[in-house]
A and B are shown apart, each in its own frame.
Chain A
Amino acid sequence: MGNLTDQLNKDIRFIEGLKACMNCGVCTAICPAAEFYQYDPRIICDTVQSGDDELIENLLRSETIWYCGECMSCKTRCPRGNTPGFIIMALRKLSQELGYFTDSEKGRQQFAIKRAIGNSILTTGYCVRPELVSPQHHPEQGPVWEWVYDNLPEVMEKTGANFKKSGPGALRQIEPEVLKELHQIFEITGGYSMFDIIEKHSVQKAHGMNLDPSSDGIDNQYFENTYTQNNGNHNH
């Protein structure tokens, strides 16, 4: 077994995800991503099970590992108790740690996700809040959402939310001392390290592509590129 397999074996989700795959393909049959993308979880299992470092490195640098939607339908169906979705999570983590994720269009999207969702967690205490779902970035949300977005305090008040106020309730303001606890947890458990790794490799890549990533936020060229770019070669 190679070095990359050793690294994967340190991840509990990899240990839980891969027991012994017999390549029956039931996971592929049930997989929503396999139906949409050029994606086959059976082959993912086969590749990581081979222990071949070269093949695994190719996978870590590929578009392929970013196609899974983590619905985990595969976990229910595998007759051998494997979970390709967990294997994918371990592969994505390793791809980011090694900086390989910026080699693929889909992998580079981790920058956009970190800047949007990561920032929201640390500044608001929630992964998503209504302010993040701008009609500009979410035209599919439709005109009713646009109306909600333009009238957030009034609409939210009517539904009983405690919009941006202290105390319990939906969409309340998360107090600074609570955010401080979140930050301390991120510091101690490696959450910040992961964010820093995504930033470091993404900024390098952005410069290589002559795109400005700015020091933070989503109003920059590299965010726009990673958030919207689709080369059209991902589907069947």
Chain B
Amino acid sequence: MKAEGKKKVWSDYQKNIADNHYFYVRSCIRQTFFPGSETTFLKILRNNLSKDIFEDARHTTCTGIGYHTDIVPFETLMTIIARQFALMTEAGYSHFVPSCVTSFGIYTEVLDTWKHFPETEEKTREYLWKATKREFKVPDNLAHTSDIIYKFRENISAISKYRLVNRKTGEPLNVVEHIGCHYSKMFPSSGVGGAEFPAVLTGMVESWGGNVIDYPERRHCCGFGFRQYLVKANRGYSLSNSKKKFESMQPYKPDFIVANCPGCAMFLDRWQYTIAEMEGTTYDQFGMGIPVLTYEEMAGLVLGYSPWEMGMQMHQVSVEPLLDKIGVEYQKNEKYKGLHGQDIGKPQKPQFLIV
């Protein structure tokens, strides 16, 4: 195919991402396990890219985990979503940016439902007014936070302190990128690259000097499965799906994994510990596991942010081997210290996973 033809085909896989003035909503999972990633995202937007991004303290969960565990009815979910849109409207914004991939999927699903069943939007407006006396406008633009970083990946590259390159060999680092299922599997046109060629993380990795690994189970779910993880009796499902991915990626010797969904990042980190403790197996050469990063952490490292202020000490798989490969300067002894350097103890060492 001629270059022009390719360009035309690829244009079908692009999405419109607003370039400024964002209304930001947080994620249950990201703020619980990666609060530093949310902090880093806002710092990058405001301090490095000089963008306007606003957070209203009155926003809440979208109830997506409740919805996907089937305890929260669709009508309730749609009205909670409508309330978030009302806060955005009241603040004078129209570009809605959720931190969570499950939420992003929820917002795309609700907007799609309102498009195909306009009576449900009407009903939702009635419910919202009755419950809160609020009104809303539908956002002009809906983008996941990873879409925003993707959009400005070259700007970030231009001011980068580090590259995703092995400092000693000069070779690009090998990166496994994992896209959360609800980013574009449900509504392909809502994600960069659609469901077939999701480019949101690939674009970042390649702009910042890394090499993306293609492996057989690249698009397989991490295994969260909502009720399949949340209920202790079901966690074998969750673990088994991640294990399938680890076994598939292992031969390609990834230097790290990066995910745009907070749940995926957490599971791919924790299940490596669990598998190591259960079976004595790790998926790297040194018994330490494969570091798993959020895309905010990856962007933050490239920009020279402190790994410990970004919260990378909260990972179970140690990130130091990766920091050393990149050549990131960091204080080893500060890892488990409090904000003002106070001693707050250290985690116990696992039996098998080397930390």
Contacts and interface: CB of A to CB of B under 8 A. Distances in A.
Do A and B truly interact? yes
Interface of A: 11-13, 16, 32-33, 35-37, 66, 68-73, 75-76, 83, 89, 92-93, 96, 105-106, 109-110, 112-114, 116-118, 121, 125-130, 133, 137, 140-148, 150-151, 154-161, 166-172, 174-175, 178, 181-182, 184-191, 194-195, 198, 226-230, 235
Nearest to A113: B69
Contacts of A137: 232
B7 interface: no
Contacts, number: 264
Given A171-B35, A190-B73, A198-B71, A157 B226 contact: no
A133 B32 CA distance: 9
A35 B236 CA distance: 12
Interface string B23-62: 0001011011101101110000000000000011110110
Interface string B298-342: 000000000011110111100000000000000000001111001
B231 interface: yes
B234 A109 contact: yes
Interface of B: 26, 28-29, 31-33, 35-36, 38-40, 55-58, 60-61, 63-66, 68-76, 78-80, 83, 105, 113, 116-117, 120, 127-128, 130-132, 181-182, 185-186, 188, 195, 219-221, 223-228, 230-237, 239-241, 244, 270-271, 273-274, 308-311, 313-316, 336-339, 342, 344-350, 355
Given A159-B309, A171-B32, A112 B231 contact: yes
Given A12-B113, A159-B39, A227-B233, A76 B195 contact: yes
A106 B39 CA distance: 38
Contacts of B230: 113, 116-117
B168 to A, nearest CB: 28
A127 B63 contact: yes
Given A117-B65, A159-B310, A32 B346 contact: no
30 contacts: A16-B113, A32-B225, A68-B225, A69-B224, A70-B225, A83-B186, A89-B70, A113-B231, A114-B71, A117-B69, A125-B60, A126-B61, A141-B316, A142-B316, A144-B315, A144-B355, A154-B339, A155-B311, A158-B36, A158-B337, A160-B39, A161-B31, A169-B55, A169-B57, A185-B76, A188-B130, A191-B72, A194-B71, A198-B71, A228-B232
B162 to A, nearest CB: 20
Contacts of A66: 227
A166 B317 CA distance: 33
Given A76-B188, A116-B230, A118-B71, A144 B314 contact: yes
A129 B348 contact: no
A114 to B, nearest CB: 5
Given A13-B74, A147-B345, A161-B31, A33 B225 contact: yes
A36 B56 CA distance: 42
A159 to B, nearest CB: 3
A181 B79 CA distance: 11
A175 to B, nearest CB: 7
Contacts of B349: 143
Contacts of B240: 35-36
Contacts of A13: 74
Given A109-B233, A171-B35, 19 more contacts: A69-B221, A71-B185, A71-B225, A83-B186, A113-B71, A114-B71, A116-B230, A121-B61, A128-B32, A133-B32, A140-B274, A144-B314, A154-B344, A161-B31, A184-B131, A189-B73, A189-B127, A190-B76, A235-B236
A141 B31 CA distance: 16
Given A76-B188, A109-B234, A160-B36, A70 B68 contact: yes
